[in-house]
Amino acid sequence: MSQPTTQTSALSVAHPHLPQTTEPRPSVQPLDLDWALDVAVNTSAVERRCATLPGRRSVKKDYQAAWLLKAITLIDLTTLAGDDTAGRVRRLCAKARQPVRPDLLDRLGMPGVTVGAVCVYHDMVETAVAALAGSGIPVAAVSTGFPAGLSPLDTRIEEIRRSVAAGAAEIDIVISRRHVLTGNWQALYDEMVAFREACGDAHVKAILATGELGTLRNVARASRICMLAGADFIKTSTGKEGVNATLPVSLTMIRAIRDYHARTGYRIGYKPAGGISKAKDALTYLALLREELGRRWLEPDLFRFGASSLLGDIERQLEHHVTGAYSAGFRHAMA
């Protein structure tokens, strides 16, 4: 991973939180199946590339602390449990405002760091919006029959509209995996276009549920279709599948984003979600993104981690950097 010359340059946090505020928003493009389906993925080559990444791209000491603080600004701090309560969401929002103990941030010279967004179910959107008022941190809502996406289409579209009306600035939708598995690309495109329209000014992240798509080629094709249909972000997983974010899936999706940028000029965001719980894993994902897409993608308008426990491990690593001692995990509770 390229090392910043100073901590401050690596930790530029004076950025807008809302996605795409410094980029033209991607518009819906005509469905070009010749381009969208003309993709091949060499699975063994992808796996070899990803297997070497953690060992080749390690950062230590001040550089590691700098990149971990950057990672915090890219987290969609998430709670999507069946036993979520208003109290839990308010506590999560308090953590989003102050993700690391103030004394540690002061020692690091980085006061004011916050996460990228808070992600909740629709019923908790109003609670989260109220708890984050004045912070500049947006609320993201999972929608469209999350996580299976098998509700009737009109119900899924109405769910989006209600979340936007409740104050959600970002909507994480789930695609119908059956359209990918049966090769019904027109249906996938039409569905995504309808979701984008229902979002209005809210930005839309398309969850592909890659663990259920069968092959990396299907992942690449679904990524291209969703980008053509107006997705602001493409996202790996709901976090509820048996297999969630992986480096091979991420490389496949990131290269789809690179191809789309070369074709249209639009920068599409990327969000790996599910299973990223360790600080060292976050560094590996940042290294992959930096190598494949460049420095511009290392900002919250173009990259997010879908995570909750990741923040606790990052805070623990930062405390070790400052004090030289590891603290117990329970000292860094999320909510």
Residue 10 lies in a domain: no
Interval 218-257: pLDDT, tens: 999 999 999 999 999 999 999 999 999 999 999 999 999 9
Rounded to an integer, the average pLDDT of 90-102 is: 96
Residue 6 lies in a domain: no
Interval 42-54: pLDDT, tens: 999 999 999 988 8
Whether residue 7 has pLDDT greater than 90 = no
Residue 1 lies in a domain: no
**Per-residue pLDDT at 4:** 38
Interval 285-306: pLDDT, tens: 999 999 999 999 999 999 999 9
Residue 266 lies in a domain: yes
Residue 8 lies in a domain: no
Query: In this structure, are residues 175 and 192 in contact, taking their beta carbons and an 8 Å threshold?
Result: yes
Residue 249 lies in a domain: yes
Quote the number of domains for the chain: 1
Interval 193-202: pLDDT, tens: 999 999 999 9
3-state helix/strand/coil string of the chain: CCCCCCHHHHCCCCCCCCCCCCCCCCCCCCCCHHHHHCCCCCHHHHHHHHHHHHHHCCCCHHHHHHHHHHHHCCEEEECCCCCCCHHHHHHHHHHHHCCCCHHHHHHHCCCCCCCCEEEECHHHHHHHHHHCCCCCCCEEEECCCCCCCCCCHHHHHHHHHHHHHHCCCEEEEECCHHHHHCCCHHHHHHHHHHHHHHHCCCEEEEECCHHHCCCHHHHHHHHHHHHHCCCCEEECCCCCCCCCCCHHHHHHHHHHHHHHHHHHCCCCEEECECCCCCHHHHHHHHHHHHHHHCHHHCCCCCECEEECHHHHHHHHHHHHHHHCCCCCHHHHCCC
Residue 111 lies in a domain: yes
Residue 121 lies in a domain: yes
Active site residues: 172, 235, 271
CATH code for position 224: 3.20.20.70
**Per-residue pLDDT at 57:** 62
- Angle of helix 61-72 relative to helix 279-293, nearest 10 degrees, comes to 80
Residue 306: Cβ within 10 Å count: 30
> Which domain, by its residues, includes 237?
23-332
**Per-residue pLDDT at 116:** 97
